[in-house]
Amino acid sequence: MHNLRIVVVNPVAFDGDNDPAFAAQAARSNDLRIGLLQAGYNIIASLPADLYLPDRIAQLQPDMIIIDAESDARDVLEHVVIATRDARRAIVLFTEDDKKSSMEAAMAAGVSAYIVAGLQTARIKPVLEVAMARFNQEQKLLNELSDTKLKLADRKIIDRAKGLLMERQQLSEQDAYKKLRRLAMDKNLKLSEVAQRIIEANDLLG
């Protein structure tokens, strides 16, 4: 678990010299970084939540993204969601925002763990382990759902191709299926790929 490649994302800072909010955020960020390093984690980058974030995350390919936002994290979360839209990753949000609406919005956006006032070093390791386990379980369910949808789509294509063979060549359903299998074996293609070609040929010929 400690071999996780982690990217920490912080809000964009505008005035680091005179802004008390910036000073508080900087202190939090430092505590988080120290806690991660003491727990043995590998921080590969600390990035601002700006327009370049999706490209940076795509280049770095982290295993986990940690958002460190003391208060309203919606803008930061929006950048992270965009950055992980095409390749999902475990997301952990450390914040001081304990509003239920904020937590629900974050979880709906794909956050694996929403941690309020949880920057104590001793908490970081179990929090990240639970977040990664939850993310892996969700990813497994999503993959299973995707496989099921794909199988259903393939079945519809095969059934349609069978229907065309039955209609055009006066075959029984069993014989039409056997013909599809034989064509797939002869051409070294999936059954659904042969079925799709039959459908496309039929559409071309009208």
**pLDDT in 10s for each residue of the chain, 206 residues:** 557 899 998 876 555 556 676 777 777 777 788 888 888 888 999 888 888 888 899 899 999 999 887 666 777 888 888 888 888 899 998 888 888 888 888 888 888 888 887 666 777 888 888 889 999 998 899 889 999 999 999 999 999 999 999 998 999 999 999 999 999 999 899 999 999 999 998 888 76
Q: Which residues contact 178 (CB under 8 A, 6 or more apart)?
A: none
Identify the pLDDT of residue 137: 92
Answer yes or no: pTM beyond 0.75: no
User: What does the alpha-carbon distance between residue 155 and residue 205 come to, in Å, rounded to a whole number?
Assistant: 23
- The secondary element (H helix, E strand) that includes residue 21 is helix 20-38
Helices and strands (H and E) in the chain: how many: 7, 5
User: What does the alpha-carbon distance between residue 141 and residue 148 come to, in Å, rounded to a whole number?
Assistant: 11
Look at residues 189, 145, 143, 182 and name the one whose alpha carbon lies nearest to residue 165: 182
User: What does the alpha-carbon distance between residue 158 and residue 199 come to, in Å, rounded to a whole number?
Assistant: 9
Identify the pLDDT of residue 3: 78
Q: What are the Cα distances from residue 41, in Å, to 5, 122, 161, 193?
A: 8, 13, 53, 45
Assign 73 to helix, strand or coil.
coil
Identify the pLDDT of residue 104: 86
Token pair of 91 as six digits: 């997301």
Alpha carbon 175 to chain centroid distance? 43
Q: Which residues contact 114 (CB under 8 A, 6 or more apart)?
A: 93, 95, 103, 106, 107
User: What does the alpha-carbon distance between residue 195 and residue 35 come to, in Å, rounded to a whole number?
Assistant: 56
Write the DSSP string, 126-146: HHHHHHHHHHHHHHHHHHHHH
Identify the pLDDT of residue 2: 57
Identify the pLDDT of residue 15: 54
Q: Taken in order 15, 18, 19, 22, is the CA torsion positive or negative?
A: positive
Structural domains present in the chain:
5-119 (3.40.50.2300), 147-205 (1.10.10.10)
